Structure 1
């Protein structure tokens, strides 16, 4: 059996023979090289001459596609199949081999590949052979760029923004997936400023739009959570540029990242805290839209759903000590949350709607409604913002919010766990705060609250030395 180097030289020599004989390179012969490059021993001995042969073949394929791309010429299928196999071969050659990545880049194969797949992206030829070649070309670019800064820069300089835009909006699922993989792989810190150019912001917007169509593509999720979230100014521009429905998609990805609870670097934490402050501002500016759900038959009114998702994220962020302090000090947030609770509570009393308390055997009229749980989450956020924060405890007192929270201490099928969150809120409002304790005690003394409400909350008021004290009651 021939040694690996001798074997590879023989196969590549046979492949190169087409140019001497004036024929066409065969796909089967190319497959032989592809198979060899599956083995590390062959990848390790590949040299510049090997890749120069592949460059000649790919250049010939580009020439044929350019000349016949607009025609349904049967001979074009051969060149498309050959291109796809050449890309497979190059893809294999790059696996765990930085030397091959560099050689491939140095001989010009990246530029030749990009030239060819740009033709695929703009071609009216939508045959399966064309799509397969397109997909394989993108896979090769992903492999040649993996962990290789030089290749990443070369691809970025020739593909951004237009080729990435074409891939993200492509109808073929695999093209969109592989295109987003190449985009993520090449998106180093030094590339992020390119997105801030107004003309290029559409690439970032296209990522969100593509995610709404293909939420299962992990590369799109990673672009948002591992790249965009580290650049709050870029995220703000994206948020301002997308539709309400795409904002929901963006917010759901942020929610997933925040809920992950993975350890964050100091830089990531600082960026996410700036994002949290921005989302707080968005909630304050848009919260009124949720009232549309009181009269709208459409339970998924886009702008209102955005407000619901913003509240979900703020609740999750304030449940984490790393973000709590920064949100507790956000100007106007607590005031807005309490005002929104007051308005939704009033809306539920004025007419029968999703904000009206419901207690039925069927557990509410429509648990799929976007606003289900909204009031409970408002109270949850109030509880978190007041957790061991005297200033916010006092603000609730000043805004006369304690009676409002007590008025929501009930079972409500439209707001699961409403009663439990209200109890937690009262606990946080009264912890080391005698004035707030006194407010609740006086509500009991003056008869403004049914004692059964406090009992359901696990609380009771007792008088000692002419003073009223709020205490916890253990349920048997």
Structure 2
């Protein structure tokens, strides 16, 4: 004969079994906590009872971890653990009183220890994954908008739980642990990430694998990109593919629908220093793409993405001035343009002009690289006479004009050449005279200049380069 049931207790006018001692009762309580009124009137004693069940089931998991023969008896324990986590998860939804009560019972420490034990279990995958996921959801809910809970979660979870979960093969476990990390991070804890850089890199990897997941994306854009020190430390240790992912998110932040907040400008100036200095030091790596053995070189792709970031940064008026005077940047860009221009003429390679690329052909990693170099030169010379003169001294103007050819590998090449020439000649009579003399000497094609929006007019003995349209803004 079954044992008689205990008398019922009431929770906000709803009858629930008490004391809680079985799966059926836990499920009833989980359902009750879906209602705000039931959450708001829950007595602390209920959470103590749930914790007692969780601890007992956790003991069963510990035994199974030490003795593999006990694993076959874990099914009921995993069911209880899952329902305990669901119950606690629901109780914490938008209810700080329950968050505080559950936290003060040291439930967070029990939950984290149990989740870490899951790594050692060899059991039927679905039941374990469900318990694992519900445990992380509970930690996320108890930390939500509750600084004290966030602090306790961080103490117990960092770094081991994040190292375990962010690299997990289950997408939901990665997403839930990312949610916990996002919720718990603050400026002080960011410093701890610098000392555990593998966690930060794991977030980048999670975003690579799950670009549709919002939590890794938000961690990077709302936390990582606000810490120049962390970004610098990460960049030094990441793989090139991970660097490309990070740089793509830097671009997304700069060109987003909302302009960069003024408070973020000093941070992005620090990012600009890292990106510009890295480009100056390593940009010639891209020349490896001329070899058939390196047509998909990830190191070269990282350099290409650095150039893309520099183009977007110099299109931002708050960042432009800093990069216009960055030591060696303009010189290196002009030098690299000359190297790939000459290499593209001398032999057939990825930098050669192509007029017959097939639609949808994206195999050429260097696509757009040459036109972006010219775009960057144009940006760096925008209303900056020192840089205008520097490009002229480096014989960069004939080089840019000679690059104005239709090229499927460099869409909009003509437009970027026009843009660069306008910025090189604006309020600069010496550069205007140089181009006018090139036309007079047959070194610049008049029809090309006309197509670019310029014409040369002779006034007495003097040649004048005239613009036939308004100069474009910085791009």
Both structures adopt the same fold (TM-score exceeding 0.5): yes
SS at 2:74 equivalent? helix
Q: 1:71 to 1:284 in 2, by over 3 A?
A: farther
Greater alpha carbon shift after TM alignment, 254-263 vs 411-420: 254-263
TM-superposed CA distance for 1:261, in Å, is 4.3
Which runs of no fewer than 5 residues in structure 1 stay unpaired?
Answer: 19-24
Partner of 2:424: 429
CA-based RMSD of the aligned residues comes to 2.0
Q: 1:211 aligns with which of 184, 204, 207?
A: 207
Distance in 2 between residues matched to 1:186 and 1:312, nearest whole Å: 33
Partner of 1:87: 85
Partner of 2:258: 262
Partner of 1:132: 130
Q: 1:7 to 1:142 in 2, by over 3 A?
A: same
Q: 2:16 aligns with which of 3, 11, 21?
A: 11
Partner of 1:287: 283
Q: 1:306 aligns with which of 299, 302, 307?
A: 302
Q: Deviations over 1:75-109 (max 9, x none)?
A: 31111111111111111111111111111111111
Partner of 1:47: 43
Q: 1:129 to 1:316 in 2, by over 3 A?
A: same
Partner of 1:324: 320
Which runs of no fewer than 5 residues in structure 2 stay unpaired?
Answer: 1-7, 471-475
SS at 2:34 equivalent? coil
Q: 1:63 to 1:245 in 2, by over 3 A?
A: same
Distance in 2 between residues matched to 1:274 and 1:13, nearest whole Å: 59
Partner of 2:167: 169
Partner of 1:22: none
Partner of 1:152: 150
User: Does the aligned pair in 2 maintain the 1:225–1:253 contact within 8 Å?
Assistant: yes
1:36 aligns with 2:32: yes
* Map 1:22-421 → 2, pairs under 5 A: 25=22, 27-69=23-65, 70-71=68-69, 73-125=71-123, 127-197=125-195, 200-360=196-356, 362=357, 366-421=361-416
Q: Deviations over 1:184-208 (max 9, x none)?
A: 11111120111222xx122112222
User: Does the aligned pair in 2 maintain the 1:364–1:413 contact within 8 Å?
Assistant: no
Q: Deviations over 1:196-253 (max 9, x none)?
A: 22xx122112222333333332211111111111111111110000111221122122
Distance in 1 between residues matched to 2:420 and 2:126, nearest whole Å: 60
Using the size of structure 1 for normalisation, the TM-score is: 0.92
Q: 1:270 to 1:397 in 2, by over 3 A?
A: same
Q: 1:3 to 1:104 in 2, by over 3 A?
A: closer
Q: Deviations over 1:281-309 (max 9, x none)?
A: 11111211111111235432100100111
Greater alpha carbon shift after TM alignment, 284-293 vs 74-83: 74-83
User: Does the aligned pair in 1 maintain the 2:108–2:139 contact within 8 Å?
Assistant: yes
Q: Deviations over 1:409-448 (max 9, x none)?
A: 1211110000100000000011111111111011111221
How many pairs were matched up? 461
